[in-house]
Amino acid sequence: MARARYRVSQFTRGLRPFLDPREIEAARAHLSPSEFALFLNADARDRRHSFALFEALRAQDASPAELAAALVHDVGKGRLRTWHRVAFVLLSAAVPHLARRVEAETGAGWQQALWRLRHHARLGAERLEAAGSAARVVELVRRHTDAPPADDPALARFIALDDQL
């Protein structure tokens, strides 16, 4: 039941996904120009979510790499329609074997969207690596959908907060 409440809350927060100019400038101050370009190109819902993670980590005195990673951790998703997100969550929860069968790197646009959602951590890390991001930023983005590791408290905190927001 808690997970369902979280998903409803996540959906309703996405109804007002835009950042104000102060938030955009705060993001710019923590990103390289190439990272900032990736951030701006992300879907508005993902920018809103990423900024919420950034603020939560900033309140806990996270490192500069963690703050940068928070802002760009979902850039691998690309542009998505709301129904892509809903379908991915519902299929993954209810019939995960079917979800994986219909996702495709090449295929119909909706299949590619579901595939990107499944692989967004790796795709985002690859984009950030190509953009010259610091190794720690790339690592945090690449691993943010993994199980929280016992040997990396910062990554474990990152994953936990990402799952809560």
Which sequence spans correspond to the domains of the chain? 2-164
Nearest 10 degrees: Cα torsion 130, 131, 136, 139: -40
SS3 annotation, 46-111:
HHHHHHHHHHHHHCCCCCHHHHHHHHHCCHHHCCCCHHHHHHHHHHHHHCHHHHHHHCCCCCCHHH
What's the confidence (pLDDT) of residue 4? 67
Query: What are the tens digits of pLDDT across the range 117-127?
Result: 999 999 999 99
Distance in angstroms (rounded) separating the CA atoms of residues 30 and 65: 9
Nearest to 137 by CA among 32, 45, 28, 23: 32
- pLDDT band of 10, cuts 50, 70, 90: low
Residues 6+ apart with CB under 8 A from 17: 43, 44, 45, 47, 48
- pLDDT band of 17, cuts 50, 70, 90: confident
Query: What are the tens digits of pLDDT across the range 68-79?
Result: 999 999 999 999
